[in-house]
Amino acid sequence: MTKRLKLGRVLETALYVDDLDRAASFYTEVLGLTSLNGDGRFHAYDVGGTSVLLLFRRGGTLETVHMPGGTIPPHDGHGPLHIAFAIGADELPAWEKRLDTHGVAIEGRTDWPRGGHSIYFRDPDGHLLELVTPGVWATY
């Protein structure tokens, strides 16, 4: 009998950006994420103490990265991508106000059948970001 393997959770999510400093300012100042690490190629941010958002300079990871502990194969991405961030149900109005204060336009709103609510907006590279309250998925 073979033991069934199970994935735990998504640990890292990556976005590729044209201007790493501009993106870093947005994710720290507007979204309030805490930087974990970074250099001229990438920035890593803590998201809720459970996952990591990686911002890579577009085209900056096209070669294998050699480190003392091993290698990271090349990767890159193009076009507007989508990420959803979980927030508390009572936090949505405060987030709307924060985005407005920073001049970030809300492009869409959705009330989900299970009871969750989402707002959608863009980062400086055009990636679609979503803030979502509980009740969207059976798992959230």
Q: Where are the alpha helices (DSSP H) in the chain?
A: 20-25, 92-101
Q: 8-78 and 80-140: same fold? A: yes
Q: Please write the tens of the pLDDT for every residue from 20-57.
A: 999 999 999 999 999 999 999 999 999 999 999 999 99
Token match 């076009």: residue?
79
Architecture of domain 80-140: Roll (3.10)
Which sequence spans correspond to the domains of the chain?
8-78, 80-140
In this prediction the pTM is 0.92
- pLDDT value for 2: 78
CATH number assigned to the domain covering 8-78: 3.10.180.10
Low-confidence ranges of the chain (pLDDT < 50): none
Give CA–CA dist 118/111, Å, rounded: 7
